[in-house]
Chains A and B, each alone.
Chain A
Amino acid sequence: MSEAMHAAQFDSAAQQEEAATLGIWVFLATELMFFGPLFFGYYYGRSHFPDGFAAASRHTEVMLGTINTAVLLTSSMLMAIAGEARKANATRLATRMLLLVAALGIAFLVIKGIEYRHEWQERLFPGAGFFFPEHQHAAAARMFYFLYFGMTGLHALHLTIGIVMVLVFALGLSRGARRFANAERIEVAALYWHFVDAVWIFLYPILYLVGRSSG
């Protein structure tokens, strides 16, 4: 790496890369704590209304949720490949992988949108029109769906940011902006992407699978 490739406050490009990597890890720690109160709220609701949360969870679209889990896990794998490919200077492979990652991310959002539509039609959105057929569980289900929309909505927002980021790097690489889309930056983007994936790995069981076994 040439001297000119690092910012003035750093001594070397290596130091700059290390700083960026640590920076994203610290940022992800913040992100984790940002999701914290939602998970804590879920813990509260589920421990106080176990039956209500189980009943509410049975109304989620488990098939679509499972497909989405597979979609996101696959995208993370491709993201890892993209990072390795960029490191090995296989920029065309890296570009294609990034485009696929973004496509899978968009697919996830589309499927999630279909789910939201179903839930809206079934009046499960916890607004004024909320209606839950098992009346004894209505209050708990309302809280469940508040957390469901809050958590998946926040997750989708993060995923959208991730998609834009991945697309920017894919576009950069395809136009030959190799310095802009260097291996270290793609690594940093990948850490973020994996984080968004990891959040979903927790959301999937607590939102979709909780009530299934006790049905």
Chain B
Amino acid sequence: MHARVSDIAIPDYLNEDWSLKSWLTTHDHKRIAWLYMVSITVFFFVGGAAATLIRLELATPQGDLVSADTYNRLFTAHGVIMVWMFLIPSIPSVLGNFLMPMMIGARDLAFPRLNLASWYIYVLGGLFTLGALAAGGIDTGWTFYTPFSTMFSNSNVILAITGVFILGFSSILTGLNFIVTVHKMRAPGMTWFRLPLFVWANYATSIILVLATPVLAMTLALLAAERLLHIGIFDPALGGDPLLFQHLFWFYSHPAVYIMVLPAMGVASEIIPCFARKRVFGYRFMAYAILGIASIGFLVWGHHMFVSGQSVYASMVFSLLSFLVAIPSAIKVFNWTATLYKGRITFSAPMLYALGFVGLFTIGGLTGLILASLALDVHLTDTYFVIAHFHYIMVGGSVMAYLGGIHFWWPKMTGRMYPEMWGRIAALMIFFGFNLTFFPQYLLGYEGMPRRYHAYPPEFQVLNILSSAGASILAIGYLLPLGYLLWSLFYGKRAEANPWHATGLEWQTSSPPPKHNFERTPTVLRDAYQYDPQTGTEAPQ
């Protein structure tokens, strides 16, 4: 395989031209992935700074570090930045951008200029949202619930939702690009059921991006009309209904959870077979489960509104449908586990992240069932139980998988190996730090501690201190990769074309790849993940 890579002929995509202009005007999906990676990393640490202040405030029962109002602005900033500027674009726009064309044997996405445009739109939206923060922040929570956001809040709601509105179009264009690329750009022999599951996952995610995001955009526009012009459909004084806002908001924002977690599942499905040296168990069921989660995910938004005054009958249906999502999700967890069975497992850093993802996603998913139960939800709504649940999915699940993917494909992206020992240390620190931060929050929520308050009764302090202590470990865990990955750019060992002996097409070209990915369009001969656990060998696609 090494022989197929020539050392002299074509410069790789990084070395072609290093000028700033060549980066800012690039149409190369691999370079655009880097643009996204740098920008979302910046936002991740801004959002993380807000989280740090939140955890510091909650170390003591008294509201002594920041005022209640500042606290509102902190958790809103944390939510808005982490959801729209980090999690939604994380895996699709960074890893997806880099890998989707390579995994299907294409030279680029279908619409490279559109791809670059979507990054500029992302930056513009990000600037508006940062502007809202610089101007003093927003105090509505990331959900922008009316009538608070339209009639009462004195903060920079309009600036913030303008930012989110713009960011949405970046998502939509990325989704559109992926859908067309997967349909029309597959290399000869790359049939649908030979696609790596990462491609399936990002394809399903793209459908959600394209169909759900515009609903949020219009809903925010209606919110803006109501706040600015005092006309609208959400304000009861105007004959409107605040529940209408919640329906429309969650019609996007629940599927948004699947925008965050489906690509993470895709990453885990690449890493686990590779480091277990075994074909993924039940490939077709894995693909169908992805589509199942994406479609049922559109029908469960009402479970965010069980105590909002929505009809009980509607709630019953939403509860049942929410339980249904657990079925394809469980299929995936069981299949990852079955993939490990009798595999030749190596616990390298990407594998540690992927296994961490599976475990944390399972806990997050199971507690989701508790919240989907109507009677239990009455007790748990708006408590730390909810916070713990969705952080297990979004941070334990998506961020773990994102980092796992970054490590797994780092050699391909940079041509350098990261330091393996540091990678493992960081993965373990993040896993332990994460659990220490968020598991106590399940207990706090179960005992009745409400979310969104900067002070709390003293009996909750022990668990809160554990949580804040965990957060400090988690913070170091996140700073470590920032350090050693940057270090490896200059001092890391040179990477081979296929250092993990993986089967995907992206490993059949040099590290880093040439501008158009392959010297000639590859022909696909085999199904994905042809690993042999007996010998540990693999047959490339």
Chain A residues at the B interface, C-beta cutoff of 8 Å: 7-11, 15, 18-19, 22-23, 26-27, 29-31, 33-38, 40-41, 44-45, 48-49, 126-127, 139-140, 142-143, 146-147, 150
B residues less than 8 Å from A45 (CB atoms): 233, 239
Contact status A9-B109, CB under 8 Å: yes
Partner-contacting stretch, out of B123-131, B172-180, B408-416: B172-180
B112 contacts the other chain (CB 8 A) = yes
A residues near B239, Cβ cutoff 8 Å:
45, 48-49, 139-140, 142-143
Assuming the contacts A19-B110, A23-B111, asked whether A142 and B238 have C-beta atoms less than 8 A apart, the reply is: yes
A27 to B185, CA, bound (A): 18
Task: Report yes or no: B218 in contact with A143, Cβ–Cβ below 8 A.
Answer: no
Q: Interface majority SS on B: helix, strand, loop or mixed?
A: helix
Q: Chain A contacts of B180 at CB under 8 A?
A: 19, 22-23, 26
A127 CA to B230 CA, complexed, in Å = 8
Nearest CB of chain B from residue A28's CB, rounded to whole Å:
10
Decide if A126 touches B176 in the complex (CB within 8 Å). no
Q: Give, as a whole number of angstroms, the nearest-CB distance from A146 to chain B.
A: 5
B176 engages A26 (CB within 8 Å): yes
Closest Cβ of chain A to B534, distance in Å, is 38
We find that the number of chain B residues with CB closer than 8 angstroms to chain A is 41
Contact A127 B231 (CB under 8 A): yes
Contact B214 A22 (CB under 8 A): no
Residue in B closest to A27 when the chains form the complex, CB atoms:
B176
Contact B214 A34 (CB under 8 A): yes
Chain A: minimal CB distance from B458 (Å): 45
Q: Is the CB of B238 within 8 A of A22?
A: no
Instruction: Tell me the minimal C-beta distance from A195 to chain B in angstroms.
Output: 13
- Residues 347-381 of B contacting A (Cβ, < 8 Å): none
**Quick one: which of B182-232 are within 8 Å of A by CB?**
183-185, 210-215, 217-219, 222, 225, 229, 231-232
Q: A33-B214, A37-B248 are in contact. Are A146 and B225 (CB under 8 A)?
A: yes
Q: Is B241's beta carbon under 8 Å from chain A?
A: yes
In the complex, what's the smallest C-beta–C-beta distance from A46 to chain B, in angstroms?
11
Instruction: Find out whether the CB atom of B215 lies under 8 angstroms from the CB atom of A36.
Output: yes
B107 within 8 Å of A (CB atoms):
yes
Is A19 within 8 A of B184, CB to CB? yes
Known: A9-B106, A143-B240. A22 touches B179 (CB 8 A): yes
Bound Cα distance A31, B217 (Å) = 11
Q: A33-B211, A48-B239, A142-B239 are in contact. List 19 more A-B contacts (CB 8 A).
A: A8-B516, A9-B109, A15-B185, A19-B183, A19-B185, A23-B110, A30-B210, A30-B214, A31-B214, A33-B212, A34-B218, A36-B214, A37-B215, A38-B222, A41-B233, A44-B233, A142-B238, A143-B239, A146-B225
8 Å CB contact of A37 from B210, B218, B240: B218
Cβ-based interface call for B244 (8 A): yes
Task: Assess the B233–A9 pair: CB atoms within 8 A.
Answer: no
- Smallest Cβ distance from A23 to chain B, in angstroms? 5
In the complex with contacts A29-B211, A37-B219, A9-B112 CB distance below 8 A:
yes
Which residue in B176, B218, B232 is a CB contact (below 8 Å) of A36? B218
Chain A residues whose C-beta falls within 8 Å of the C-beta of B248 in the assembled complex: 37, 40
Which residues of A lie under 8 Å from residue B219 when comparing CB positions? 37
Q: Can you give 8 A-B contacts (C-beta < 8 A)? A: A15-B184, A19-B183, A23-B180, A26-B179, A38-B222, A41-B233, A139-B239, A142-B231
By a CB distance below 8 angstroms, the chain A residues around B213 are 30, 33
CB pair A44 B241 closer than 8 Å: yes
B241 and chain A: residue at smallest CB distance: A44
- The SS class assigned to the A binding surface is helix
CB distance from A97 to the nearest CB of B (A): 28
Looking at B107, B175, B176, B179, which has the most chain A CB atoms within 10 Å of its CB? B176
Q: How far is the CA of A17 from the CA of B124 in the complex (A)?
A: 31
Minimal beta-carbon separation of B514 from chain A (angstroms):
13
- Decide: A26 near B210, CB < 8 A? Known: A9-B108, A37-B215, A37-B222: yes
In the docked arrangement, what's the CA distance between A144 and B210, Å?
Answer: 28
Task: Check B107–A22 contact: CB distance below 8 A.
Answer: no
Closest approach, in angstroms, between the C-beta of B328 and any C-beta of chain A? Answer: 23
Report the nearest A residue to B212, measured CB to CB: A33
The answer to the question of B521 belonging to the interface, with a C-beta cut-off of 8 Å to chain A, is: yes
CB pair B172 A30 closer than 8 Å: yes
Q: Which residues of A contact B109 (CB under 8 A)?
A: 9
Name which residue of chain A comes closest to B111, CB basis: A23
Is there an interface contact between B229 and A127, defined as CB atoms closer than 8 Å? yes
Instruction: Report the nearest A residue to B210, measured CB to CB.
Output: A30
Output the least CB separation between B280 and chain A (Å).
Answer: 28
Q: Which 3 pairs of residues, A with B, have the shortest CB-CB distance?
A: A34-B214, A9-B108, A37-B218
- Nearest CB in chain B to that of A39: its residue: B218
CA distance A179 to B108 in the complex (A): 23
Contacts of A147 in B (CB 8 A): 233
User: Which of the listed residues B110, B179, B215 has the most CB atoms from chain A within 10 Å of its own CB?
Assistant: B110
- How would residues 232 to 254 of chain B score, 1 for a CB under 8 Å from any chain A CB and 0 otherwise? 11000011110010011000000
Given A9-B106, A23-B111, A26-B176; A18-B229 close (CB under 8 Å): no
A27 to B239, CA, bound (A): 33
Select which of A18, A19, A41 is within 8 A of B222 by beta carbon: A41
Contacts of A143 in B (CB 8 A): 231-233, 238-240
Q: What B residues does A139 contact at CB under 8 A?
A: 238-239
Question: Whole-angstrom distance from the CB of B322 to the nearest CB of chain A?
Answer: 21
Bound-state CA distance A7–B109 (Å) is: 11
Write out the residue numbers on chain A whose beta carbons fall within 8 Å of the beta carbon of B229.
127
